[in-house]
A = this chain, B = another copy of it.
Amino acid sequence: MSTNTPDPHPTSLEELRNALRGFAAARDWDQFHSPKNLAIALSVEAAELLQHFQWTPEAESTTLNRDQQAQVREEVADVFLYLVRLADKLGIDLMSAAADKIELNSAKYPIEKVRGSSKKYTEY
Interface residue ranges, A against B (CB under 8 Å): 6, 8-13, 16, 19-20, 23, 26-29, 32, 34-37, 39-44, 46-59, 61-62, 64-65, 67-69, 71-74, 76-81, 83-84, 86-87, 89-90, 92, 94-95, 97-106, 109, 111, 114-116, 118, 121-122, 124
Contacts and interface: CB of A to CB of B under 8 A. Distances in A.
A6 B98 CA distance: 13
A53 B122 CA distance: 8
Contacts of A78: 101
Nearest to A87: B76
B6 A102 contact: yes
Contact of A64 (B71, B90, B98, B104): B90
Given A34-B62, A43-B46, A76 B99 contact: no
22 contacts: A6-B106, A8-B106, A10-B99, A11-B95, A23-B102, A27-B116, A32-B55, A32-B121, A35-B61, A39-B46, A39-B61, A40-B54, A43-B50, A44-B54, A46-B47, A55-B118, A67-B124, A77-B94, A77-B97, A77-B101, A80-B94, A81-B101
